[in-house]
Structure 1
Amino acid sequence: MSSPTQVRASHILLKHTGSRNPVDSYRNKQVTRSKQDAIDGIEQIKSQISSHEDFVRLAQEFSECRSAANGGDLGVFGRGQMQQQFEEAAFALQVGELSGLVDSDSGIHIILRLG
């Protein structure tokens, strides 16, 4: 099977003080948590996800990306459009699959592949 050239994915992002832009861009507030606290937070959020509806609700409540307004939905993107770690994880998922923790320059993510 050939690799897709585009995917559609949602994510939940928790930033930390070492993130490239440690500001919650959805709520416009400074992020002061450590990287370990971001990892712990994402693990706790992930443990609450048992459906797509849970993911959307938790993204709206906790994600520190502007995509939180859309339940974390980033839309369709191709290779080279996202940070490498994020892209590799998103393209490796099957449709409907939830990633493990993904560490990028932006922070700690979990990714749900939508298409």
Structure 2
Amino acid sequence: MHIVAKVFDLAITDSEIQKETHKLSGIDSPRERKNALNRLIDRYLLLHQALTTGLSVSDSEFDDALFESLEEMDNAPRDMEQTRNLEEQTRRRVIIRKYVHNYCFKSIEISEQQLLNFYEDQKEVFVIPETVHAAHILVCGSGLDSARKASRIRAEISTQEDFRRICGTSSDCPSSPRCGDLGWFPRGRMISELEEVAFALQPGQISDAFKSRFGWHILLLIDRKPAQIASFEDIKDSLKARLVHLKREFLLMAHIRDLRNNYKAEIRILDPRYTH
């Protein structure tokens, strides 16, 4: 077991760094290994701080976390040593999780006025993109017969009522029982051919037959909504949840920074490969 670093009396081994590197990026490079080591140092600083507060792990907490760990593993432990390592890592993970929860999940108050001020300052962030509501008829196949069939179907359609009636009997798409309804969608959600046609139509218009990799389509544009800024009432709950989450992340980052500053002498890098 090669020890790369120590945080107080907690050893960080090369195998731990390898596992952390794999979780972070899967790229085994000096830079990614250093990133992994730094994350482990932060984690062990939190663990030490948690242990000094007297946090412990109940049997039920341990069992739940162990089951979670086993689900994440590709292979179960092969021997007693691996089993003991897994159990120790599981206990540590639970203690760190409890400590972070106790530290960061304090009551964070954000008033409605603060939310409104943030909303007014950042309105451009809350733009809802232009969306369209469309339906289509699909004729599968790329050959001449499919093209002719799509043309014949299109020739029979003069109104939206024609489209809906014919769609139920002539479309190869699973959406045909609901009259080919594709729902509302913004740009970037559908295949490019369908998107290009949909955003070029006006409500009530029906396209000519056009081809994609799925076959031939006939598109009805039902409605469209221009880009707009979401109202404060519509987004204030999700905005509050997001800001509370960001504040908690900031609290944790600031706490780790303080731990690193306070315990510099207790962080020892033993492997010279990680000191440059």
Greater fraction of residues in helix: 2
Q: Which TM-score band (shorter chain)? A: 0.7 to 0.9
CA distance in structure 2 between the aligned counterparts of 1:109 and 1:60, rounded to whole angstroms = 14
Counterpart in the other structure of 1:61: 169
CA distance in structure 1 between the aligned counterparts of 2:201 and 2:152, rounded to whole angstroms = 21
TM-score of the aligned structures, taking structure 2 as reference length: 0.33
Please state whether the residue corresponding to 1:56 is helix, strand or coil.
helix
Please state whether the residue corresponding to 2:211 is helix, strand or coil.
strand
Structure 2 counterpart of 1:9, from 134, 149, 152: 134
Amino acid at match of 2:130: T
Higher RCO (CA 8 Å, separation ≥ 6 residues):
1
Amino acid at match of 1:106: F
Aligned residues: 95
Structure 1 counterpart of 2:198, from 79, 90, 105: 90
Percent of aligned pairs sharing the same letter: 41
Amino acid at match of 1:57: R
Structure 1: runs of 5+ lacking an equivalent: 19-34
Alignment of 1:31-70 (within 5 A): 35-70=143-178
Note the alpha carbon deviations across 1:48-76, whole angstroms, 9 max, x for none: 11221110111100101111011111111
Amino acid at match of 1:55: F
TM-score of the aligned structures, taking structure 1 as reference length: 0.78
Greater fraction of residues in strand: 1
Which one has the largest radius of gyration?
Answer: 2
Counterpart in the other structure of 1:26: none
Amino acid at match of 1:54: D
Note the alpha carbon deviations across 1:19-39, whole angstroms, 9 max, x for none: xxxxxxxxxxxxxxxx21111
Structure 2: runs of 5+ lacking an equivalent: 1-128, 224-276
Alignment RMSD: 1.2
How far has the Cα of 1:101 moved from its partner?
A: 1.6
